[in-house]
């Protein structure tokens, strides 16, 4: 038994399923999760001393690579001064100004501690602002684990085959209307059936919790128009895509203006952070100025602000996102070429620093329905084959992959070589 296996056995005695977040448990792919000792740049090192080229990046935040020296230095400097004050700091003001400067769609922003808090609070604000209860989300989109958002959610929920979690009262779920991603007609039908009751549409602008599904042309624009027509707010959940698809996020990349934006992951540089912001007239409804309550003991935490600001400043370097997108394209086209060479049917999607690959005969994957029909046996074999080769991919066919600026041409070439060997075995 190696150290990961013995730690996993030990962990299961005191931690449910041995993990603090379900997808880490490898339930979707089988086997024992790898326990990590440390990370640096593009690499993770496990407790048995094995190195992995990492395409999970802590599920998104590590866009500049693990343990980036400038981010680490900023964190250490903040730690020297104190860990939390529960009182305003100049650092929070700088963070808010930085985000408002980068994102023209954000007039004001409130920091929270996770993506879940960001979406939950944005939705409450949208409901308070519009004085309506219902909202529309998309099947396969994940927005964290608040009750009303755990309805037909993606990612871990899909991995475990539960469309909606037990423990979510039907009374809560009844206000959550679900539509089909990339199918504008399904949204239109919900608005037509509930013309005065829908507070908001919330979506991932590139769906990253049902693998990686970019919006088809016209989808985001169509949602914007429907929200305007029916007086609903458009909430773009950029927790995954924010500052990763482009510096001005996915909504900037696709040229669509949200009313509210949710952020997380990259904005915290690896510390627990989320945020939501947007139109000043909507944000004015938030406590203490307005009646919609939202709060947090550790919100705007000085250590997290230091990490997030350091990362965001580094991300402002002109050309960085083009370089990241080029790395992503090289990697995923390499996977596709290897799959074609060995006759393993595969489709790919990619945008900015996000990618997805699908074991399917379909030439193009744009819907949740297509994702759910992909070949899971091929995915599991590919995942484990790559892990053996020292490449860490997300242990679920319903998660997007992430590149970082720390991935060198050599890392990417080595990953494609590994994929070639693994796909050869799958084809055999």
Residues at the contact surface with ligand PLP, assessed by CB under 6 A: 59, 114-116, 119, 142-144, 204, 208-209, 237, 239-240, 264, 274
Find where tokens 């203490």 sit: 288
DSSP-based three-state secondary structure for 16: helix
State the nearest-atom distance from the C-beta of 117 to ligand PLP, in Å: 7
Task: Say how many Å lie between the first and final Cα of the chain, rounded.
Answer: 30
Please, what is the Cα angle at 306 between 281 and 202, to 5 degrees?
Answer: 40
137: CB partners within 8 A, 6+ apart: 143, 149, 151, 152, 176, 177, 178, 179, 201, 202, 203
- C-alpha gyration radius of the chain: 21
CB 29 within 8 A of CB 395: yes
Percentages of the chain per state (helix, strand, coil), in multiples of 5 = 45, 15, 40
The secondary structure of residue 190, as a DSSP letter, is: H
Residue whose Cβ sits closest to ligand PLP: 115
Instruction: List the one residue out of 157, 270, 258, 141 whose CA is nearest residue 207.
Output: 141
Instruction: List the one residue out of 129, 124, 125, 168 whose CA is nearest residue 150.
Output: 168
CB closer to ligand PLP out of 74 and 273: 273
CB closer to ligand PLP out of 123 and 381: 123
State the nearest-atom distance from the C-beta of 71 to ligand PLP, in Å: 18
377: CB partners within 8 A, 6+ apart: none
* Residues carrying an active site annotation: 142, 237, 265
CB closer to ligand PLP out of 23 and 78: 23
CB closer to ligand PLP out of 57 and 385: 57
Tokens of 176: 């959550």
State the nearest-atom distance from the C-beta of 131 to ligand PLP, in Å: 25
State the nearest-atom distance from the C-beta of 368 to ligand PLP, in Å: 15
Would you tell me the crossing angle of helices 184-193 and 219-230 to the nearest 10 degrees? 10
CB closer to ligand PLP out of 142 and 243: 142
CB closer to ligand PLP out of 139 and 237: 237
State the nearest-atom distance from the C-beta of 243 to ligand PLP, in Å: 13
State the nearest-atom distance from the C-beta of 263 to ligand PLP, in Å: 9
């Amino acid at each position: 038994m190696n150290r990961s296996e013995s730690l996993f056995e030990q962990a299961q005695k005191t931690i449910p399923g041995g993990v603090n977040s379900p997808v880490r448990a490898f339930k979707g792919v089988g086997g024992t999760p790898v326990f990590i000792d440390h990370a640096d740049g593009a690499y993770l090192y496990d407790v048995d001393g094995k190195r992995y080229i990492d395409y999970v990046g802590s599920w998104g935040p590590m866009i500049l690579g693990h343990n980036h020296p400038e981010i680490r230095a900023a964190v250490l400097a903040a730690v020297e001064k104190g860990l939390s004050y529960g009182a305003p700091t100049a650092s929070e003001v700088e963070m808010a100004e930085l985000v408002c400067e980068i994102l023209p769609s954000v007039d004001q922003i409130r920091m929270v501690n996770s993506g879940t808090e960001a979406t939950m609070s944005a939705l409450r604000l949208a409901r308070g602002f519009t004085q309506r209860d219902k909202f529309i989300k998309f099947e396969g989109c994940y927005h964290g684990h608040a009750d009303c958002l755990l309805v037909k959610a993606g990612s871990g929920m899909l991995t475990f085959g539960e469309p909606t979690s037990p423990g979510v009262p039907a009374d809560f779920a009844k206000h959550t209307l679900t539509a089909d991603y990339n199918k504008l007609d399904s949204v239109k039908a919900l608005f037509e059936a509930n013309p005065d009751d829908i507070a908001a549409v919330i979506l991932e602008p590139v769906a990253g919790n049902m693998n990686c599904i970019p919006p088809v042309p016209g989808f985001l624009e169509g949602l914007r128009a429907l929200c305007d027509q029916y007086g609903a707010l458009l909430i773009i959940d950029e927790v995954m895509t924010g500052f990763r698809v482009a510096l001005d996020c996915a909504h900037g990349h696709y040229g669509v203006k949200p009313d509210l934006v949710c952020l997380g992951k990259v904005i915290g540089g690896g510390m627990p952070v989320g945020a939501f912001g947007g139109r000043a007239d909507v944000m004015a409804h938030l406590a203490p100025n307005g009646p919609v309550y939202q709060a947090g003991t550790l919100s705007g935490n000085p250590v997290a602000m230091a990490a997030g600001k350091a990362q965001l400043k580094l991300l402002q370097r002109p050309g960085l996102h083009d370089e990241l997108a080029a790395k992503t394209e090289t990697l995923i086209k390499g996977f596709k070429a290897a799959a074609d060479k060995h006759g393993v049917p595969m489709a790919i999607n990619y945008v900015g620093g996000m990618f997805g690959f699908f074991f399917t005969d379909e030439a193009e994957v744009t819907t949740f329905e297509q994702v759910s029909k992909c070949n899971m046996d091929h995915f599991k074999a590919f995942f484990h084959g790559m892990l053996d080769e020292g490449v860490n991919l997300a242990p679920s066919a319903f998660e997007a992959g992430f590149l970082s600026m720390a991935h060198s041409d050599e890392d990417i070439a080595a990953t494609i070589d590994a994929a070639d060997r693994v796909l050869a075995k799958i084809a055999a």
